[in-house]
Amino acid sequence: MYGTISDVCTRESCPTMCGGSRYEYLWQDGLEYKKPTRLPAPQYMQLLMDWIEVRINDESIFPSSTNVSFPKDFRQICKKILTRLFRVFVHVYIHHFDRIRELGAEPHANTLYKHFYFFVTEYGMVSTKELEALKDMTERLLEPSNRRAPIPSANAFRQ
């Protein structure tokens, strides 16, 4: 989803990884960024994708052999991955939804988000507090009468 808007999400246009004025996301990976650090949105998202790739390719976390058990903290690792991915949705929907719409990608983005939302809520993978950032939009998307109705302009979600 980020790739769709990467041409308009730049260090200049998005100097912090945020979702409106209420949500700012700091990067911390325990290695290069030991303390929570404010970063431009594109840098945060690139670090996030790299961080996720390392974990997914780590056989001790995601074993490819059926003879190897998943780690005891597997659920916590997945929760962290999914929470951070949710923050990408927050940023894209709040700051770049007009671009998604301009590209004709709104139905795809909404379907992707709904699948993600249903999964993380069904399995309790992202906290209710974290989900608050897109609560109003999510409610509109999930209303039976509005399932085919377009979402209002992204400006309606800026806070």
CATH of the domain at 16: 1.20.140.30
Q: Which range of residues forms the domain containing residue 13?
A: 2-157
Q: What is the pTM of this model?
A: 0.87
What value does the mean pLDDT take over residues 59-68?
94
Report in angstroms the alpha-carbon separations of 137 from 13, 133, 159. Answer: 23, 9, 12
Reading the block at residue 88, the tokens are 């990408």
Count of domains for the chain: 1
**For all residues of the chain together, what is the average pLDDT?**
91
The per-residue pLDDT for range 3-56, each reduced to its tens digit, is: 888 889 999 999 999 999 999 999 999 999 999 999 999 999 999 999 999 999
Q: What is the pLDDT of residue 159?
A: 47
Is 50 exceeded by the pLDDT of residue 151?
yes
Cα gap 21→98, rounded to integer Å? 18
Alpha-carbon span 51 to 64, nearest angstrom: 19
Q: Tokens for 153, please give them.
A: 């302009």
Average pLDDT over residues 59-63: 96
**Binding site, annotated residues for Zn(2+):** 9, 14, 91, 96
Instruction: Write the single-letter amino acid at 96.
Output: H
Binding-site residues, please?
A: 9, 14, 91, 96
- The predicted-structure confidence for 78-106, as pLDDT tens digits, reads as follows 999 999 999 999 999 999 999 999 999 99
**DSSP conformational letter for 24:** E
